[in-house]
């Protein structure tokens, strides 16, 4: 269920970024999931550079637990980062994790790693 050395890179500041993850080996459906991006591991959650909280409701610019999954079915998560989100991150390297809470109340970290976006070239797209 966990991958603790993920690198999210090769994406451009100011672009939309969809982070999609499949969650395997579930013992119960996913109720909620979080993507948290911080400067460093010790930074408090309320000071996170970016945090997305998703549920089974599809919320534009946030994402969705597309498939809650179960013991027989994989879960499917989609986190939507908007151009404003990726712009706010800039080109520095951050740490991130993805956590899920199951309907049983159990919380699991399914991914941990770094995220690093690159600078764009085109500034005007209108």
**Are the beta carbons of 81 and 63 closer than 8 angstroms?**
no
**Are the beta carbons of 53 and 62 closer than 8 angstroms?**
yes
Judged on CB neighbours under 10 Å (0-12, 13-18, 19+), 4 is exposed
Name residues whose C-beta falls within 8 Å of residue 108's C-beta, 6 or more positions apart in sequence. Answer: 1, 2, 99, 100, 102
- Reported confidence tier of residue 121, pLDDT bands at 50, 70, 90: confident
User: What is the spatial distance between Cα 70 and Cα 82, in angstroms, rounded to a whole number?
Assistant: 29
Mean pLDDT calculated for residue range 101-112 = 97
Count CB atoms within 10 A of the CB of residue 1: 13
For residue 124, pLDDT beyond 90: no
For residue 123, pLDDT beyond 90: no
Strand 63-67 and strand 50-54: the pairing is unpaired
Mean pLDDT calculated for residue range 31-45 = 96
User: What is the spatial distance between Cα 123 and Cα 113, in angstroms, rounded to a whole number?
Assistant: 29
If residue 84 lies in a helix (H) or strand (E), which one and from where to where? helix 83-89
Structural domains in the chain plus CATH codes = 3-118 (2.60.40.10)
């Amino acid at each position: 269920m966990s991958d603790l050395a993920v690198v999210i890179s090769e994406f451009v500041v100011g672009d939309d970024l969809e982070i999609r993850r499949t969650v395997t080996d579930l013992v119960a459906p996913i109720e909620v999931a979080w993507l948290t991006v911080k400067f460093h591991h010790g930074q408090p959650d309320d000071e996170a550079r970016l945090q997305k909280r998703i549920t089974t409701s599809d919320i534009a610019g946030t994402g969705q637990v597309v498939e809650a999954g179960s013991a027989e079915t994989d879960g499917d998560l989609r986190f939507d980062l908007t151009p404003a989100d990726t712009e706010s991150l800039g080109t520095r390297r951050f740490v991130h994790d993805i956590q899920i809470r199951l309907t049983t109340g159990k919380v699991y970290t399914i991914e941990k790693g770094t995220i690093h976006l690159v600078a764009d070239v085109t500034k005007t797209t209108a």
